[in-house]
Structure 1
Amino acid sequence: MTAPIRTLIVDDEPLARRGLELRLAQHADVDIVGQAGNGREAGFAIAALRPDLMFLDVQMPEVDGFALLRGLPAEQMPLTVFVTAYDQYALDAFSACAVDYLLKPVEDARLDQALATVRARLASREAENSRDRLLKLLAQVSGRPELTLADALEPAAVATPERLTIKDGNRTVRLDPETIRWIDAAGDYLCIHTDVENFVIRATMRDMEQRLDPRRFQRIHRSTIVNLACVRELRSHLNGEYFVTLETGQTLKLSRSYKDKVHLLH
């Protein structure tokens, strides 16, 4: 018996995800292991679920399809079928670099054709070749044709070190980012709140944003960055603002200007 094709659906439109889910349900060898509504959710889902196949919407807010692919380690890259509303010129590029593409609204015949291609690729062990084609596309999109596999698919490993080196007073500390619960600003200084102690450093919020993995840390206020893994609850307020409650019970304000940019409990 052929192993099921573990499949992830990534699209910011719930109706589009549902429509694709219903169509895929007609294929007995397709096992939908997860769905994601944005690139950040998809990154976590891929790491946890390790799907064989991903149906990926190209156009999504914040982290689009290309940004998601650039952030994936090579060993986690699933076979990818683009779902897009791009014009024919762009589709030619997609078809040359991805397993296949589907034009919205998705037609049953084209979906069947895409799945046939996926089955053939899996059977002939051409997943590595598919990654190479995706790499070429990422180089075209980024305007950097000299991209290597590590550059294109593992920027997080370069931009986000395992340890964050900070200077607290006369101490230099190597901090595990996972221990950070939230960061707030006061003038030219930041206070980093961790599981064990707090650190005060001279830096800007912009500097800290660039040093932290955006899939784990998001700015919820002009003076606050939060570790998404520490969020327990999101409550709305009458004036359109929200309050974020952490696992420790600490309550932080999510301002209106950042509300639509933050994916906390979606």
Structure 2
Amino acid sequence: MKINTLIVDDEPLARKGLAMRLSDFSEINLVAQCKNGLEAVALIPQLRPDLIFLDIQMPGLNGFQVINKLRELNQPVPMVIFVTAYDTYAIKAFDAHALDYVLKPVDEERLRVAVDKVINHVSLHSESDHKQTLAKIVADFTGDDCEDILRRLASGEVLNTTQYGDVLAIKDGTEVTRVSLADVQWIDAAGDYMCVHALEQTHIMRRTMKELEEELDPRVFVRVHRSAIVNIKYVQKLVSHVSGEYHLILSNGTELKVSRSHRDNVKSMINNW
């Protein structure tokens, strides 16, 4: 059994050290090394390796973004062994989700465990299981903040495998506030910014309405006019006025106008909720 393998790491010494250790495994056929995520995204479709040792923190594209980019390009994602320096988070996160990982500096015994897992995957024809597990890690994340992803996994969060997440990450300078979408009542536009009205407070984020709408589950969030989206579970009633206009009354008393172009969709969602 030969497993064609690619190393992706921005640290030359880390690449060299891992390559030397992998030379001790007769099952591993090292086909190439990449010094960053951009190189990996370009090379993986050409070489189609069975396995990649993927560093998480890299400039340009980090490890999570490499996986996301391959999926966006409809390219097959090889089996992945993550390489990380985040000991505390990695052990809890990847053990809990049955993913393979090795810590920097790479330990020979731990490397053998990871390679054995890959061999078992290949021999049992369970690559699809590995990819499904991998999808759980990246499906709801942009991959922009590696530490945040690792912390979230290590805390035991249940990850959603649908394309829609359950948390909205709102950046404010160097801080990121994670707002549960279940608590978001409605969102409206204020110039170049979005006002996210949650149960406890209103958050401001710099996004376009179109970008935000694409991230929200259309079974829960409905566009009511060009500058507002409403969480349907907070709609108390739909009121028609003598002028022919429709307005939504939310459970907190907020009243929002429904434009003609969105009226039928809003009525349908309310009737089926």
How high is the TM-score relative to the length of structure 2?
Answer: 0.50
CA distance in 2, matches of 1:105, 1:30: 19
Residues 47-77 of structure 1 show CA distances to partners (whole Å, capped at 9, x for unaligned) of: 1000000000001012000000001136511
CA distance in 1, matches of 2:90, 2:108: 22
Runs of at least 5 residues in structure 1 that lack an aligned partner in the other structure: 150-266
Superposition deviation, residue 20 in structure 1:
0.3
User: Which residue is equivalent to 2:121?
Assistant: 121
The structure having more radius of gyration, on CA atoms, is 2
Superposition deviation, residue 95 in structure 1:
3.0
- CA gap of 1:47–1:98, structure 2 versus 1, over 3 A, is farther
Q: What pairs with 1:213-224 in structure 2 (closer than 5 Å)? A: none
CA distance in 2, matches of 1:104, 1:27: 19
Runs of at least 5 residues in structure 2 that lack an aligned partner in the other structure: 143-148, 150-158, 165-273
CA distance in 2, matches of 1:85, 1:27: 23
Superposition deviation, residue 86 in structure 1:
1.2
- Do 1:79 and 1:99's aligned partners in 2 also have CA atoms closer than 8 Å? no
- Do 2:53 and 2:83's aligned partners in 1 also have CA atoms closer than 8 Å? yes
> Are 1:35 and 2:26 matched, yes or no?
no
CA distance in 1, matches of 2:85, 2:104: 5
Residues 63-106 of structure 1 show CA distances to partners (whole Å, capped at 9, x for unaligned) of: 00000000113651111000001142343222344641101000
CA distance in 2, matches of 1:33, 1:96: 30
User: Which residue is equivalent to 2:265?
Assistant: none
Residues 134-157 of structure 1 show CA distances to partners (whole Å, capped at 9, x for unaligned) of: 1111135448946439xxxxxxxx
> Are 1:148 and 2:148 matched, yes or no?
no
- Do 1:10 and 1:37's aligned partners in 2 also have CA atoms closer than 8 Å? yes
User: Which residue is equivalent to 1:130?
Assistant: 130
- CA gap of 1:46–1:97, structure 2 versus 1, over 3 A, is farther
User: Which residue is equivalent to 1:84?
Assistant: 84
User: Which residue is equivalent to 2:46?
Assistant: 48
CA distance in 2, matches of 1:145, 1:89: 19
> Are 1:100 and 2:100 matched, yes or no?
yes
**SS in structure 2 at match of 1:27:** coil
User: Which residue is equivalent to 1:17?
Assistant: 15
CA distance in 1, matches of 2:52, 2:160: 25
**SS in structure 2 at match of 1:61:** coil
- CA gap of 1:75–1:95, structure 2 versus 1, over 3 A, is farther
How high is the TM-score relative to the length of structure 1?
Answer: 0.52
CA distance in 1, matches of 2:12, 2:97: 27
User: Which residue is equivalent to 2:176?
Assistant: none
